[in-house]
Structure 1
Amino acid sequence: MERRRPQPDFLIIGAPKAGTTALHSALAQHPQVFATTPKEPKYWLCDDAPPPHWRGPGDKHSQKEWVWRRTDYDRLFEVAPAHAIRGESTPFYLYSTSAQRRIAQELPGVKLIAVVRDPIDRAYSNWMHLWCDGLEPVADFPTAFRLQDKRAHDGWAPFWRYRELGLYGRQLDHLYGLVGEDRVLVVRYRDIVDEPAATVDRACRFLGIEQGHVGHIPKDNSRTYVEPGWRPKVLGPVVRGGAWLAQFAPPEVWRKSYPPLLRRLSGPGDHHRPRLTPEQREQLLPAFAEDIELLTKVSGQDFSDWLSTSSRGSFQERAERLSEPA
């Protein structure tokens, strides 16, 4: 039997805060799937060279965990069982046109899963993730959203690009030109929440493996909400300073010291995570309306519901609504 080259058979390529972690965790339960650890190697964002020197809060620590050497990347797949299909999930691949080109050139047979979410809800969840981690210094989402271009100019990493990460029409149009539509599966976040078993089975059909093995998708990686006030004003700079210092220490040092800081930042109790108001959504819609139209055109699916001024809430909120008795 010919030995397979240690590389992925599928990639979950995006988008960040759109359910990629949930889908990755679900597929990892399948007996015919091998999923890498770490989940997000980020290899195809690099070019066999270290990642750029991003300058946003926490960026330098984060990039220490990027797998940028091909030998290290291949090693992630060497331990996969011979029968398993192998995959990894780096949600920034969809956003990065250079990563798309590298994947198309180096992995001519790989299958790609793109998970997309209402781009305003996605951007808000992205901001919420960074705010609750103590890394986002701006307590008002619309204000932080407007800072994207300045932050990009200043060298902040892709995760800070609240608008650009949600331009799926442009991203998929570029990707289809490289690999063709038959190698790409577009999955909607709402289907992961509303129809988890059917959505996993759809992914399994696309990957050519047995259906019916996974009936549950784990909760997404949401954060405990941090209310604006003295805690983020006092402790936020401490967290950001610690994340900056962490670049000079092994990653496990920050992983041990960070959770206690985060607990102090969030404070006691389970704080309510506010939704975006209809007025806030209406202000943000022009940033995405044209791309939503393009996405509908290139994908053949209807995404006009994203033009609504109503927020759909977090993964947990939506799952709880579904579980309520009729």
Structure 2
Amino acid sequence: MDVRNLPAPMKRVVHLGTRSYGRLTAPGRMTPSFLICGGQRCGTTSLYRALAGHPVVLKAVLHKGVHYFDTNYQRGLAWYRAHFPMQRSAEKIGERYGVTPQTFESSPYYMYHPQAAARIARDLPQARLVVLVRDPVERAYSQHHHEVARGYETERDFGAALALEPARLHRQEERLADDPDYYSFGHQHHAYRARGEYARYLSVMAQHVGRERIHVVESERFFTDPEPVYDEVCEFLGLPSYLERPAFERHNARPRQSDMDPALRRELTDHYLPHDEALAKWLGRPPVWRQ
């Protein structure tokens, strides 16, 4: 049965029943050995699908993104483990390929939530983190369109939404850091400019999990030449890349939004310059959108 094709009310019932069963069987379930943590609108879904197609990778049971370490942490570790395959499924695959199977999920808000990295370090002390980055100007514009389309943003003008961002995010990061039960809609959905300041989020993650456990991927490289990027990710995760690769879709390396106001584009490009220079220290060279 393909849950995706069910009506929404029936889908909720199926998900509830699956999670309830999952909680009961949590001790016999896998836990993720790696996570795709972000960034938002940087191609995380494409990379998720590519890795989910690896022969020795088992994906999360219901959703690609569980959002445990950001907005669902109060539900507990048994709830989280309920989302992943049974150990016996992994054992069968391991016997077939002679490689230890892995499972994972992809929740792009993990990169940005102030408490997520510390929670990951505590609950998944061996997990590796994959982070995608993209031209931050295009990323911000794409996020705004995405939030408008989903009904999470009422300000349809991108420039106006950017102007509202400081007020919407005022002290939200501090409150999220101080109160484990606090939730901020604005912080999750309206941080257009802030989300592209990649290096500062990577720095926080590295403080908690260690820089050696973080792998940064430029989505422009993945979209235009996916095979070597996929092999690099597999090597980082300890996955054999010699097994069959998935079929990759290729995209334009730098899709530019021609309807963005040129003055606003210049302002954002200038704003991100020091952040891109800091990101270059992670990549070992300037990011591709600065070359």
TM-score by length of 2: 0.73
Question: Contact 2:54 / 2:246 at 8 angstroms: preserved in 1?
Answer: no
**Alignment-mate amino acid for residue 119 of structure 1:** P
Cα distance in structure 1, aligned partners of 2:147 and 2:160? 14
Cα distance in structure 1, aligned partners of 2:73 and 2:144? 30
Q: Name the residue aligned to 1:71.
A: 78
Deviations 1:75-117 (A, max 9, x none): 1124352332010001111112310111112211101100111
**Alignment-mate amino acid for residue 17 of structure 1:** R
Cα distance in structure 1, aligned partners of 2:143 and 2:250? 16
Q: Provide closer, same or farther for how the CA distance between residues 167 and 147 of structure 1 changes in structure 2, counting only shifts above 3 A.
A: same
Cα distance in structure 1, aligned partners of 2:285 and 2:211? 13
Q: What is the RMSD computed on CA atoms of the aligned residues?
A: 2.4
Q: Provide closer, same or farther for how the CA distance between residues 287 and 182 of structure 1 changes in structure 2, counting only shifts above 3 A.
A: same
1:159 positional shift: 2.4
Q: How does 1:55-66 map to 2 (within 5 A)?
A: none
Which 5+ residue runs of structure 1 have no aligned equivalent? 50-67, 221-272, 309-326
Q: How does 1:45-124 map to 2 (within 5 A)?
A: 45-46=70-71, 48-49=73-74, 68-79=75-86, 80-82=89-91, 83=94, 84-124=101-141
Q: Provide closer, same or farther for how the CA distance between residues 298 and 193 of structure 1 changes in structure 2, counting only shifts above 3 A.
A: closer
Q: How does 1:166-245 map to 2 (within 5 A)?
A: 166-212=196-242, 213-217=244-248
Worse overlay, 160-169 or 293-302: 293-302
In the alignment of these two chains, the number of paired residues is 235
Residue of 149, 158, 161 corresponding to 2:188: 158
Cα distance in structure 1, aligned partners of 2:154 and 2:71? 28
Deviations 1:30-68 (A, max 9, x none): 11111113111110114742xxxxxxxxxxxxxxxxxx4
Cα distance in structure 1, aligned partners of 2:76 and 2:167? 31
Matching of residue 44 in structure 1 with residue 69 in structure 2: yes
**Alignment-mate amino acid for residue 272 of structure 2:** F
Question: Contact 1:169 / 1:291 at 8 angstroms: preserved in 2?
Answer: yes
Residue of 50, 67, 70 corresponding to 1:26: 50
1:215 positional shift: 4.2
Question: Contact 1:192 / 1:217 at 8 angstroms: preserved in 2?
Answer: no
Q: Provide closer, same or farther for how the CA distance between residues 215 and 198 of structure 1 changes in structure 2, counting only shifts above 3 A.
A: farther
Matching of residue 135 in structure 1 with residue 142 in structure 2: no
Question: Contact 1:115 / 1:187 at 8 angstroms: preserved in 2?
Answer: yes
Taking every aligned residue pair, what percent have the same amino acid on both sides? 31
Deviations 1:242-280 (A, max 9, x none): xxxxxxxxxxxxxxxxxxxxxxxxxxxxxxx75435432
Q: How does 1:237-276 map to 2 (within 5 A)?
A: 274-276=258-260
Deviations 1:200-247 (A, max 9, x none): 222111111121522433589xxxxxxxxxxxxxxxxxxxxxxxxxxx
Q: Name the residue aligned to 2:3.
A: none
Greater RCO structure (CA 8 Å; 6+ sep): 1
Question: Contact 1:22 / 1:219 at 8 angstroms: preserved in 2?
Answer: no
Question: Contact 1:94 / 1:172 at 8 angstroms: preserved in 2?
Answer: yes
SS at match of 1:192: helix
Structure 1 runs of 4+ with >3 Å offset: 217-220, 305-308
Cα distance in structure 2, aligned partners of 1:100 and 1:275? 36
TM-score by length of 1: 0.66
SS at match of 2:153: coil
SS at match of 1:81: helix
Residue of 260, 272, 275 corresponding to 1:291: 275
Cα distance in structure 2, aligned partners of 1:35 and 1:301? 32
Cα distance in structure 2, aligned partners of 1:173 and 1:138? 31
**Alignment-mate amino acid for residue 38 of structure 2:** G
Q: Provide closer, same or farther for how the CA distance between residues 40 and 172 of structure 1 changes in structure 2, counting only shifts above 3 A.
A: same
